[in-house]
Structure 1
Amino acid sequence: MSNQRKRRIGVVGYGHVGVYLVNQIQKEGDENNVELAFVWNRTKEKMEHTVEPSLQLHNLEDFKEREADLIVEVAHPSITRIYGERFLSAGNLLGLKITMTKHPNSFKLEGKLAGKDLSAIRDRTILYEGPVRQLCPMAPNNVNTMAAAAMAAHTLGFDRVIGVLVADPSVPDWHLVDVEVTGVINETNGQVFSVTTRRRNPAAPGVVTGVATFASFWSSILVCRGHGGRVFFC
């Protein structure tokens, strides 16, 4: 085992992803030189019997006292909205949520989209198509991939990256992400350079997070070794 100081990981949120990450840190932390700094959850009772009392953070305002090197937010976008800047002042922040084409039961919608009767959808249906900026507050649990792309493509940003949210009953156990990058039109022949990729992530019916995503989060934690107060995409 390395003699280097272990990197301390704070986990904000103890849902499916949070439980997975806490278990991984407890199981493989020594060999990867990481340890838990704290675990916070809105409902603290959920941590009882599974998270040691000394590692439970009951008041998120006290996160700095735990001296975490990396804070992983796997709770709700409102947490990052409120605490994101403060998290970054104390450590590195991992932003974690994925959006994709999936079964109607797997969406958690808010705002204007919350009124849609997803249970009535029988065929592939486009719920939204337009700038990512307008979509983010309507589907905060489902648009992390789009938001990350908008931040990475800084010359386009949230207003010029287009997001398409699709509900498709024919894919009950998959989450699909299609990314198309398009270049400028060749004025001579009208041809356009483009690259299209598709990710197929197995997922249990009705869940927000696909199976492969859990391992992706864990891998991202292991490679995140300090980014100067910047957000780290995974």
Structure 2
Amino acid sequence: MSELKTVGIVGFGRLGQYLVNELLTNGAKWGLKLGFVWNRTASQQLYDSCGDSNLVLEELSQFDRYAVDLIVEVSHPVVIQEFGTKFVNHCDLMIGSPSCLADKHLEESLLLASNKSNRTVFIPSGALWGGNDIRKMSTRNTLKGLSITMHFHPDSLKLDGELKSLNDSILDKPITLYKGPVRQVCSLAPNNVNTMAAAAIAGYTLGFDGTVGCLIADPNLKDYHKIEIEVTGPSNVANNCRFSVSTTRLSPSMGNSAVTSMATFASFLSSLLNANKHMGKGFQLC
């Protein structure tokens, strides 16, 4: 039997807990094993879940003491901002908070580190439906328009500043909190718009500035997250008909305050399994 590949998990929220449990329970049959787990707060729950205190990384700066093949970030964009390039110099990286890539300098730094180290930076598709098709259109230079609208219950949104004030004022009707380039909303609602960021990366010919994001708070949207994607392609010169695809994704959530829907957990695990195979340098949607 070939040697198991080792995975480090950075973050132990609901998604991190789910991935840790899956790796400990089923990892061997997938050719994977848990290498370490880090969380901002090393709780007793973390130690109990790991079962082995040696698997708990207490200081993230010491991650390179562990020989892992892949680090999976499911924590917060600031983790990638501080440690992303260091991770890539050590092993392959899967970014669960791709909204951080709206920072041009960070995106360029990660790509440079990936090229130098020949490591892969994986971007999970998460709640993005049809991401590979969008990427194919970008590769063929036929992607002409891309917009993604995300609807959340107000309690599911983690916001600051003006958007938080607007969200807090909602009573019984939906309100559009933001509509415009995805790059701007990534800094305004980094925890909620990772799917928008994944779309911008998939549609790289439009990117963060050309992909349109719309964030809607809907107090009537209970127990679900709703994501609408509009893709347009080239027109037929003969009859002026334009290629277009529209999708709507309704995903059950674990209560009104859940940031991540239940289906996204399984999607993220599938992305982790796809990221099991090193694919060389650069960004790869998985």
Do they superpose with TM above 0.5? yes
Q: Normalising by structure 2, what TM-score?
A: 0.76
Query: Which of 226, 238, 249 matches 1:176?
Result: 226
Who is 2:56 aligned against?
Answer: 56
- Is this contact kept in 1: 2:167–2:177, CA < 8 A? no
- Is this contact kept in 2: 1:38–1:66, CA < 8 A? yes
Shift of residue 116 of structure 1?
2.2
The one-letter code of the counterpart of 2:12 is Y
Q: 1:43 to 1:115 in 2, by over 3 A?
A: same
- Is this contact kept in 2: 1:76–1:141, CA < 8 A? yes
Residue 187 of structure 2: SS of its match in structure 1?
Answer: coil
- Is this contact kept in 2: 1:202–1:211, CA < 8 A? yes
Range that drifts further, 210-219 or 14-23: 210-219
Who is 2:31 aligned against?
Answer: 33
- Work out the CA distance in 1 between the residues paired with 2:237 and 2:2: 57
For each residue in 1:131-182, what CA deviation from the matched residue of structure 2 results, as whole angstroms up to 9, or x when unmatched?
0011001110011111111122121111110000011122111111111011
For 1:34-113, list aligned pairs within 5 A.
Answer: 34-45=32-43, 46-51=45-50, 52-97=52-97, 100-113=150-163
Query: Which of 11, 20, 40 matches 2:18?
Result: 20
For each residue in 1:177-207, what CA deviation from the matched residue of structure 2 results, as whole angstroms up to 9, or x when unmatched?
1110113456775543211011111112210
For each residue in 1:37-94, what CA deviation from the matched residue of structure 2 results, as whole angstroms up to 9, or x when unmatched?
1000000125232222100001111112212111111111111111111112222222
Residue 101 of structure 1: SS of its match in structure 2?
Answer: strand
- Is this contact kept in 2: 1:175–1:201, CA < 8 A? yes
The one-letter code of the counterpart of 1:212 is A
- Is this contact kept in 2: 1:93–1:231, CA < 8 A? no
Who is 2:209 aligned against?
Answer: 159
- Work out the CA distance in 2 between the residues paired with 1:115 and 1:231: 35
The one-letter code of the counterpart of 2:259 is V
- Is this contact kept in 2: 1:181–1:196, CA < 8 A? yes
Deviation >4 Å, runs of 4+ = 184-190
- Is this contact kept in 2: 1:92–1:230, CA < 8 A? no
- Work out the CA distance in 2 between the residues paired with 1:25 and 1:111: 38
The one-letter code of the counterpart of 1:121 is L
Structure 2 residues not aligned, in runs of 5+: 98-125, 128-149
Shift of residue 219 of structure 1?
1.4
Residue 33 of structure 2: SS of its match in structure 1?
Answer: strand
Greater helix content: 2
Residue 228 of structure 1: SS of its match in structure 2?
Answer: coil
RMSD: 1.9
The one-letter code of the counterpart of 2:11 is G
- Work out the CA distance in 2 between the residues paired with 1:6 and 1:69: 10
Who is 2:142 aligned against?
Answer: none
- Work out the CA distance in 2 between the residues paired with 1:56 and 1:229: 29
- Is this contact kept in 2: 1:147–1:158, CA < 8 A? yes
Structure 1 residues not aligned, in runs of 5+: none
Range that drifts further, 95-104 or 130-139: 95-104
Residue 11 of structure 1: SS of its match in structure 2?
Answer: strand
Q: Normalising by structure 1, what TM-score?
A: 0.91
The one-letter code of the counterpart of 1:43 is T
